[in-house]
Structure 1
Amino acid sequence: MEKKVTIVIPNYNGKRFLDDCLSSLERQTSKDFETLVIDNASQDDSVSYIREHYPWVKIAVMRHNLGFSGGVNVGIGMCTTPYVLLLNNDTRSFPKMVEELIKTMESADDIFSVSCKMIQFHDHEKMDDAGDLYTCLGWAFQRGVGQPVGDYREPAEVFSACAGAAMYRRELFAKVGLFDELHFAYLEDLDLGYRAKIQGYRNVYCPTAKVYHVGSGTSGSKYNSFKVKLSARNSVYVNYKNMPLPQLILNAPALVAGYFVKWCFFMKIGFGKDYVDGLKEGISTRKKCKKVFFRGRDIRNYWQIQKELWENTITYIIELAKRKL
């Protein structure tokens, strides 16, 4: 009997995380899933370790590192189940995680993705991510990051799921598209959720599907040259691809202000040049992106998205103030 879910785990030199990640899947209350690890040419014996200790896990070994986007796209292409659950290797899942995601996904046909309640691995009292939001400043942020876990007990609609622990309706990839491989990593999940929203699908947060998340398990740190540059470049791609010209013009003052403030922040911590280089690369290579085709019937969706961009900017300011206090 075919399973409902394929759990796709991208892995790059993540051997040290695999026991927590895979053993927690063995303890799931729902067994209606199969597990597929996409190994991005690891050099730390991840593959042999999985084969020896977790023989029930399927493995696809890439010849070179395809990044998050390329790796999970391979995994999605190998899936035949109705749902695909993307899971970072630096997570430990609660026993009912799969069960609760399935319940939420089956509650409505217009749900494209369901984001888990991601809790900080090293501080179980604080949130890591309750779904991702996007602002008119061109800033994406983790909803709830650093806030008390108890503050995020209710289901909610979010701008996009965090692909570090999220379930997707597989059949809708044919309409929305896969993860953009030009991104390689960072903001690729936001871009995907944005495209789904343009077509009228919803991304939601499920507070009863919980995981602990280390964070930056593959990149190694919150800020580094590689991450800052790619994130800056990809932020240009997100706006260029998904906003029609009138919306870009409408948001231009806020976007310019947002980029300037971020440049000041990264200058302060020593990554100003990396940030500028990323923006330059994004601008010069933007036409390599496949821009979302504008359809008149989606105008209502664009307007709803614009309202969310404004509302999420206010939410960001409020959450930032809470963290500072």
Structure 2
Amino acid sequence: MKKSEKRPANVAVITVSYNSSSQLDDFLASAVTTVAEATQILVVDNASSDIETTRSLTEQHGVMLLELSENRGYGGAVNAGAATLDNTIDFIVVANPDLVFQPDAVAHLVAAAEADPGVAATGPHVLNVDGSAYPSARAIPSLRIGIGHALFANVWPRNPWTQAYHSDVTTHSTQAAVGWLSGSCLCVRRSAFESVGGFDEGYFMYFEDVDLGYRLGKLGFTNLFVPAAEVTHIGGVSTAAHSKAMLRVHHDSAYRFLAKKYPGAFLAPLRWLLRLALTARVKLARQK
């Protein structure tokens, strides 16, 4: 990859902040090194109480800021930001503010998509701070796997359904097609994103990325894991203090996705079993 190709001008990077200003400085410092102009970076703030700090940081780094009057959730905030982008933008990188980019990460994601018009989304190799792989490229979960994982994950951690649910391709050293890419960091072709209506805002948090990958796949597009692109994931501040409450939100989103994917009266008993299993798992977690 030539040096001139490392700072693409046809991509925007959108991050969503909800009281995440403590992580924005490092994120923005790395993000501006990945694109041609700092104004290609957009912070969408979900009506945070730390907006003054966020304003100061975005001004300091020369990036754009969109302030929402209410918390629209992750997908809703990304959609709002995407709607403001200039028509010269062909790709959108969606990233959590608790990430640090390698300088050529965005260029690798864009180049992989540009090389194949059938690719709608690309995702990087996401690393934890200890150097281990963060699971970010997986298969679309099935109802069977969802029920098995919900029923047995707490009492039989190595059960086959949980292993299937957690399995991903992030140990691969080559590009690979997957069912979905983590919304912690992914690059999506703007035309494809718009063709499916962006993120489904019915997911306030969690599973909006699974749903996006599934809907893109149904249209015949490929979601591609691109290990040459690397980012480091630090961990969310917005949800860390409320992890048990967030588990309920996660499970509600998981149920919504699988119920949408598997409709019909004849599957109602299995959906009921899934709901029961997810509810029981939340109760067990709260007792710990």
Question: Is TM (by shorter chain) over 0.5?
Answer: yes
TM-score tier, shorter chain, comes to 0.7 to 0.9
Q: What TM-score do the two structures reach when normalised by structure 1?
A: 0.71
- Equivalent residue for 1:31? 36
1:143 is displaced (CA, Å) by: 4.5
1:53 is displaced (CA, Å) by: 1.7
Change (3 A) 1:4 1:96: same
- Match among 97, 108, 112 for residue 105 of structure 2: 97
Cα pair 2:9 2:37 within 8 Å, conserved:
yes
Equivalent residue runs for 1:63-82 within 5 Å:
63-79=69-85, 80=87, 81-82=89-90
Please state if 1:18 is matched with 2:24.
yes
**Quick one: distance in 1 between partners of 2:167 and 2:29?**
28
Equivalent residue runs for 1:140-151 within 5 Å:
141=165, 143-144=167-168, 151=171
**Quick one: distance in 2 between partners of 1:22 and 1:70?**
21
**Quick one: distance in 2 between partners of 1:142 and 1:108?**
28
Equivalent residue runs for 1:87-166 within 5 Å:
87-121=95-129, 123-124=130-131, 126-136=132-142, 137-138=145-146, 141=165, 143-144=167-168, 151-166=171-186
Consecutive unaligned residues in structure 2, runs of 5 or more:
1-7, 150-163
Could you give the per-residue CA deviations for residues 104-163 of structure 1, whole angstroms, max 9, x where no partner exists? Answer: 111211111111111112x12x11123133332226955559xxx7x3322111111111
- Match among 248, 255, 259 for residue 240 of structure 1: 259
Equivalent residue runs for 1:138-287 within 5 Å:
138=146, 141=165, 143-144=167-168, 151-220=171-240, 223-225=243-245, 227-243=246-262, 245=264, 249=267, 253=270, 262-270=278-286
Cα pair 2:140 2:214 within 8 Å, conserved:
no
**Quick one: distance in 2 between partners of 1:271 and 1:70?**
32
Task: Give the secondary-structure state (helix, strand or coil) at the position aligned to 1:85.
Answer: strand
1:252 is displaced (CA, Å) by: 6.4
**Quick one: distance in 2 between partners of 1:266 and 1:222?**
13
Please state if 1:42 is matched with 2:48.
yes
**Quick one: distance in 1 between partners of 2:54 and 2:168?**
34
Change (3 A) 1:271 1:215: farther
Could you give the per-residue CA deviations for residues 31-51 of structure 1, whole angstroms, max 9, x where no partner exists? Answer: 277111101112123333224
Please state if 1:8 is matched with 2:18.
no
**Quick one: distance in 2 between partners of 1:177 and 1:252?**
31
- Equivalent residue for 1:322? none
1:266 is displaced (CA, Å) by: 3.3
Cα pair 1:194 1:242 within 8 Å, conserved:
no
**Quick one: distance in 1 between partners of 2:58 and 2:197?**
32
Identity of aligned residues (%): 24
Moved more, 87-96 or 155-164: 155-164
Amino acid at match of 1:176: V
Cα pair 2:16 2:74 within 8 Å, conserved:
yes
Q: What TM-score do the two structures reach when normalised by structure 2?
A: 0.80
Alignment coverage as a number of residue pairs = 259
Task: Give the secondary-structure state (helix, strand or coil) at the position aligned to 2:116.
Answer: coil
**Quick one: distance in 2 between partners of 1:107 and 1:188?**
26
Task: Give the secondary-structure state (helix, strand or coil) at the position aligned to 1:215.
Answer: coil
Task: Give the secondary-structure state (helix, strand or coil) at the position aligned to 1:218.
Answer: helix
Task: Give the secondary-structure state (helix, strand or coil) at the position aligned to 2:286.
Answer: coil
Change (3 A) 1:142 1:207: farther
Task: Give the secondary-structure state (helix, strand or coil) at the position aligned to 1:113.
Answer: strand
Higher relative contact order (CA 8 A, sep 6+): 2
1:82 is displaced (CA, Å) by: 0.6
Cα pair 1:130 1:143 within 8 Å, conserved:
no
**Quick one: distance in 2 between partners of 1:31 and 1:23?**
14
